Structure formats: C-alpha cells, structure tokens
Amino acid sequence: MITFILGFNLVVSFVCLFIAWKLWQLRLTLARAASVLSAVERQTHRVLSPAPRYIMIGERGTHSLRNQLQRLDGQLQQLRRLLGILSLSLTIWKQREQLTRLALGRQRSRQRPRSR
C-alpha cells in the first residue's frame, strides 16, 4: 500500500512538475509577445505622432483648392457664355454676309440686260 501511495504521489508530482514547466514556457512566450507588442506600439507612435499636423496642413490645402476651384468654375462659366455669344455673333455675321451677297446677285441680274 505504501508503494502505491508513493507511486501515486510520484505521478502527481510529475504531473504538477509538467504543468509548472508548461506554465513557465507560456509565461516566457507571453513575455516575448508583450515585448514585441510594446516595440510595435512605440514604433507606431513614433510614425503616427506627427500625423495630426500633416492632416491639418492637408485640410488647409484642400480648403484653399476648393475655393480656387469655385473661382475658376465661375470664370469658366463666363468664358463659355462669351464663347457662346461669339459663336452666335459669327453665325449671324455669316448669314448676313450670305444674304447680302444673294441680294447683290439679284440686283446685278436685274440690272443687266440679257444679250443673246
């Protein structure tokens, strides 16, 4: 019976030793993971810490570009209106010129006697 109790205690001791060894390995793994995560957090902070300043600069630039685009859009509309007026004027001028030529041609044909 003593042999059984000693054997059982020995098995329980080895199981506890095995569990302690696994927990020790888990602790080391978690310590390494925490160290890596800490280093990643430091690098991320170093890289992203100036980001708010650059975002503000970008927002100001975007605002300026939007204002400039609105001004240019207004100027473009004025230019389109002007080109439309010029195109219409040119069309009217060409039609008037054609009508004038047609009228002059009729007057000349009326004034010339026909000779055969």
pLDDT at residue 113, rounded to an integer: 60
- Tell me the C-alpha distance between 22 and 62, whole Å: 57
Q: Which two tokens stand for residue 20?
A: 């302690």
Q: Band of the pLDDT at 52, cuts 50, 70, 90?
A: very high
pLDDT given for residue 99 in this prediction: 84
User: Residue 115: is its pLDDT beyond 80?
Assistant: no
107 pLDDT higher than 80: no
Q: What is the structure's pLDDT at 33? A: 98
Assigned token pair, 38: 């800490």
